[in-house]
């Protein structure tokens, strides 16, 4: 698990390879990632947008921007936690992801980026 803290907001990510959905001979490797967002600040915040940079070791790069996460724009009061799971696929079976969330402090509308720590995606059979 990797973790980053930005302005009191802690983001942790854990990954897993989904062999049951992957087809290595067809260059289709599926990964799930589980994200935990913890509000350790003294303000209530809302996650508005996400930005992902996805790198595949075959040289492909994908940038993904969108509203919220998995259809939600969660509000987190101080001390609250939000968890969600999502996924991606790679052709090579090895890659990495990183990015940021755009958060808004509800008391005054101040928006700020919160780092999503870089995490590596590796099909386990490639480690042998």
Domain boundaries, the chain: 2-127
Tell me what pLDDT residue 73 has.
98
Tell me what pLDDT residue 108 has.
98
pTM for this one? Answer: 0.95
Tell me what pLDDT residue 128 has.
72
Tell me what pLDDT residue 127 has.
85
Residue pLDDT, tens place only, 92-121? 999 999 999 999 999 999 999 999 999 999
| Rounded average pLDDT over 56-74 | 96
Residue among 15, 54, 19 at smallest CA distance from 36 = 15
Q: 2-127: which CATH topology? A: Immunoglobulin-like (2.60.40)
Helix (H, G, I), strand (E, B) or coil at 110: strand
| Rounded average pLDDT over 36-59 | 98
Residue pLDDT, tens place only, 117-126? 999 999 998 8
Left (φ > 0), alpha (ψ -120 to 50) or beta: where does 93 sit?
Answer: left
pLDDT averaged over every residue in the chain: 97
Percent of the chain with pLDDT over 70: 100
């Amino acid at each position: 698990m990797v973790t980053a803290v930005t302005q009191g907001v802690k983001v942790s990510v854990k990954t897993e390879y989904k062999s049951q959905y992957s087809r290595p001979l067809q260059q289709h490797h599926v990964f799930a990632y589980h994200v935990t967002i913890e509000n350790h600040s003294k303000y209530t915040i809302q996650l508005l947008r996400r930005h992902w940079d996805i790198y595949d070791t075959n040289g492909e790069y994908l940038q993904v921007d969108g509203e919220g996460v998995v259809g939600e724009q969660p509000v987190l009061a101080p001390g609250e936690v939000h968890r969600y799971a999502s996924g991606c696929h790679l052709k090579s079976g090895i890659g990495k992801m990183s990015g940021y969330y755009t958060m808004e402090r509800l008391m005054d509308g101040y928006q700020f980026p919160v780092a999503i720590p870089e995490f590596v995606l590796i099909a386990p059979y490639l480690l042998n």
